[in-house]
Amino acid sequence: MSEGKVVLDDAEYARLRLLLSRAAGLVFDDSRRDSMGYSLGERLRATGIASVGEYLEEVCAPGSAERQRLIDEVTIQETHFFRNPPQMRALRAHVLPELVRHASAHGRRLRIWSAGCSTGEEPYTIAMMIRELLPSTAGWDIKVIATDISENALDAARHATYGARAVQLASAAEVARFFVPLDGGRYEVRPEVRELVELRHHNLVQDAPPADALDLVLCRNVTIYFSRETTRALMGRLHTALRDGGYLFLGHSETLWQVSEDFRLVSLGTGDTAAYVYRRLDEPASERRAVLPDRRTLAEPVPPPERRLSARRAWKAVSPHVPKQAERTDVPSLKAVRDALAEGRYADAARLARLAGDADPLKPEVHYLLGLALVDQGLDLEALPPLRRAVYLDPEAGLAHFLLAGALARSGDRPAAAREYRAAAQTLSRTTDAAAPELGGRSARELAALCAQLERQLSAGSER
């Protein structure tokens, strides 16, 4: 052991990985072996157990209380109030007003689940937004159910006092309205917010959802630690627990591509401020697949013909910024954007791509072309949001991964750049497109090899 870290041999690490995957769905690859060594060192020190072997016997025993302590130690609790501003804007401007309207016609019952709520910032944020809409909830049946597997995190959530860092995304008015300032620069969440939140211990991979007919589920930055299979099974349970038309919010790097076809992706807001969220679909996947044959079509808000009218209305209801058909005649085509790029009119190409993106925010290529136009002007930092949207909407978009990697590397984020070069190499090696005209006419295979090489260079550089 050095500086509290335990060196785990292959067999010990394998046993711990299996335990945590079965108990909590958590996946630990080789890159996390060191951090697991630190966690184990911490648990050995806290329990007074002398060796990893004895500790493993203890923690793997049926009904072991130490298992919960280990889960508390290895789970990542990073969170803050008003996290993910585009989603917060979408909640405030579209989703919560719509849910409150729906609830007022359905028994004034509103059920929201913050699944993987960590130390409470997420559910309290939702409760604050509800308080903005409904200062008094007398006569309403409103619950924000907040669950987590970590007892430590839930204890902190019950305590509901936070440091300045946790509230840095809250406006001064929100801090003044929803927190009591404490000594030492800390803030306590006000009782009228806390009373809307019900905190419970819950394991997302083992327990049934804590309620049904849910209006909204936030399961953000939780499935990034799960395998695809675990996530798929969880999404099935969330689908069952949501009511028709209910919303699902995931973290900005989490997507249901290749995981679930039971939700419709919708975009709320426009341009850089758009949020991508999911809604529960009410038709079975088998019916939908016949009409929406591939993932690009699935990502668009186009319902099957027999439902077109009503679902189209629903789409408009939640997307007030989508221009009406009559206004869309001036929407530039992707060809116009590409022509501007080919002629070196990069600022013009960016302007046209923005207009096209406002009209059709779920089309990955539009964000890719905007990113390309910005990169071509040397605006790497500005290019990051559209390129991130492009790879979010189409994780197989190799060229978008490639551009994003370059923009990240030039902006100094080498670990993220290495990850994107790896994704670019993988996706481009699966691409059959012969060439990439706007990237010097290289073939996809050549570009994939280059990306793999750049990834190795960046990873080697970060280890030094």
Ligand X SMILES: C[S@@+](CC[C@H](N)C(=O)[O-])C[C@H]1O[C@@H](n2cnc3c(N)ncnc32)[C@H](O)[C@@H]1O
Binding site for ligand X (CB under 6 A): 24-26, 75-79, 83, 116-118, 122, 148-150, 153, 202-205, 220-222, 225, 251
CB of 195 to ligand X, least distance (A): 21
CB of 94 to ligand X, least distance (A): 19
Taking the least distance from each CB to ligand X, the nearer of 10 and 78 is 78
Which residue from 281, 212, 197, 208 is spatially nearest to 247, judged by alpha carbons?
Answer: 281
User: Counting Cβ atoms within 10 Å, is residue 126 exposed (0-12), middle (13-18) or buried (19+)?
Assistant: buried
CB of 223 to ligand X, least distance (A): 9
CB of 20 to ligand X, least distance (A): 9
Distance of CA 119 to the CA centre of its chain: 18
Taking the least distance from each CB to ligand X, the nearer of 161 and 457 is 161
Taking the least distance from each CB to ligand X, the nearer of 154 and 405 is 154
Q: Which amino acid is residue 265, in one-letter code?
A: L
CA distance 375 to 9: 45
* The pairing of beta strand 214-219 with beta strand 109-115: parallel
Task: Please give the structure tokens belonging to residue 395.
Answer: 């994780």
DSSP character string of 312-334: HHHHHHH-TTSPPGGGGGGPPPH
* The pairing of beta strand 141-148 with beta strand 197-201: parallel
CA distance 219 to 241: 13
CB of 76 to ligand X, least distance (A): 5
Task: Please give the structure tokens belonging to residue 99.
Answer: 């849910």
CB of 72 to ligand X, least distance (A): 8
CB of 122 to ligand X, least distance (A): 5
Which residue from 428, 361, 358 is spatially nearest to 400, judged by alpha carbons?
Answer: 428
Q: Name the β-bridge partners of 216.
A: 112, 247
Taking the least distance from each CB to ligand X, the nearer of 237 and 345 is 237
Taking the least distance from each CB to ligand X, the nearer of 51 and 253 is 253
Taking the least distance from each CB to ligand X, the nearer of 88 and 99 is 88
Q: At 143, give phi and psi (nearest 5°).
A: -140, 135
Which residue from 393, 391, 409 is spatially nearest to 401, judged by alpha carbons?
Answer: 391
Taking the least distance from each CB to ligand X, the nearer of 118 and 267 is 118
